[in-house]
Amino acid sequence: DTAVSQTPKYLVTQMGNDKSIKCEQNLGHDTMYWYKQDSKKFLKIMFSYNNKELIINETVPNRFSPKSPDKAHLNLHINSLELGDSAVYFCASSPDYRYEQYFGPGTRLTVT
């Protein structure tokens, strides 16, 4: 019973391509997030959705676009991939914005 799942686990692609990462949670939570972890393990929030509505949008390039088709899913689409996008991307969810977050296993994106 995976609580927060992400697909794919690994993604290797070339510069300029467009790719998507999918996230699903089966916890019944209202709020979902995307975080980026760089090569030095530094974690930074990118986006947050509450009941399919965008509530946090950090200073992320427009090439990154989150989409929440329903409360249980939050996908991340990245256009025109650049070398600097290489990182591990984590999805997380919480019951609502006031509570602890539960993280998925991460997607390691490598742009060559």
Partner 1 sequence: AQSVTQPDIHITVSEGASLELRCNYSYGATPYLFWYVQSPGQGLQLLLKYFSGDTLVQGIKGFEAEFKRSQSSFNLRKPSVHWSDAAEYFCAVGAAAGNKLTFGGGTRVLVKP
d(CA 103, CA 9): 14
What is the nearest approach in angstroms of partner 1 to the Cβ of residue 80? 27
What is the nearest approach in angstroms of partner 1 to the Cβ of residue 19? 20
Best CA proximity match to 104, nearest among 20, 41, 50, 37: 37
What is the nearest approach in angstroms of partner 1 to the Cβ of residue 96? 8
User: Does residue 76 contact residue 54 with C-beta atoms inside 8 Å?
Assistant: no
Enumerate residues 41-80 that contact partner 1 by CB under 8 A: 41-45, 48, 50, 55-56
How distant, in Å, are the alpha carbons of 32, 43, 65, 93, 109 from that of 106?
14, 12, 18, 13, 9
Nearer to partner 1, 80 or 97 (CB): 97
What is the contact surface with partner 1 in residues (CB under 8 A)? Answer: 4, 31, 33, 35, 40-45, 48, 50, 55-56, 90, 92, 94, 97-106
